[in-house]
Chain A
Amino acid sequence: MPEAPAGTLYRGREGMWSWVAHRVTGFLIFFFLLVHVLDTSLVRVSPEAYNAVIGTYKNPIMGIGEAGLVAAIVFHAYNGIRIMLVDFWSKGTRYHRVMLWVVVGLFVITMAGFLPRHLGNVFGGH
């Protein structure tokens, strides 16, 4: 069994941590996607089966989980656009740090719009 390579910290700072966050959010989204296709497939079983399972998505704990899922998707989406700008825009590498803070800013704005709406639906007593 080879020993783990010493020092897994790459260069640190914005470049590495955005890469780590991209990887972690992508990993989480993928596993949700597997579950989500399976739960949606219950429409093929019966309306009752689908409604019963989707009903569990409406309880407050799952509602908070959905907020976390959307947060992961929004970060992954915006940072993905940043990665493409770094790859394809001639000044991308020079501005990759600034662009990460733009990503964080847009993320905060998007979540500030989404969270009241979604949490209102979850806790709004329908």
Chain B
Amino acid sequence: MAALTDIPAPRSPQGAGSARGARSRRTGRTNYELYAWVFMRASGVLLVVLIFGHLFMNLIDGDGISAIDFGFVAGKWASPLWQVWDLLMLWLAMIHGTNGLRTIINDYTERTGTRVVLKTALYLAFTIVVVLGTLVIFTFDPCPAGAPADLLPSFCTG
């Protein structure tokens, strides 16, 4: 056996068939990698629209980056359209990105321990960021009590 075939858990463990033939490859396996592959393409199309729209609104429209502050975010999230837009973007981008990083980890880690550590960190980061981002979108208060009025969107004082 050549050294290359001795890697204990080769690239993309779920997708790598054993050398024992088609029968063992059929049993006990799922279509997980297929669904992941389809998801990357489906979410990719949506993300092009969502992220280009996001970049247009935040960096090109009006005064771009120099206009972004608390009032700008509050003004956007006053509209259900941008709440749904940002929520969808958060979830799709995080799943798309996490699956991309999972592929990279599978490709380049050779030791099982390294792979487990990196993937644990990845899934932990995924969970924290998605939960935090979702909570922020749903619990956001555009007019927090006690905040200086000049930092708030104009509808707070109306």
Contacts and interface: CB of A to CB of B under 8 A. Distances in A.
Main secondary structure of the interface of A (DSSP, over half): helix
Contacts of A105: none
B60 A114 contact: yes
B136 A41 contact: yes
A118 B65 contact: yes
B139 A5 contact: no
A26 B100 contact: yes
Nearest to A29: B97
Interface residues of B, number: 49
A26 B97 contact: yes
A3 to B, nearest CB: 7
A34 B93 CA distance: 10
Contact of A43 (B60, B67, B90, B136): B136
B74 A43 contact: yes
29 contacts: A2-B6, A5-B4, A23-B100, A23-B104, A26-B97, A26-B100, A27-B100, A27-B101, A30-B97, A30-B98, A33-B93, A37-B129, A41-B132, A44-B139, A47-B151, A47-B152, A51-B69, A51-B151, A57-B68, A58-B65, A73-B51, A77-B47, A81-B44, A81-B48, A83-B41, A121-B63, A122-B64, A122-B65, A126-B66
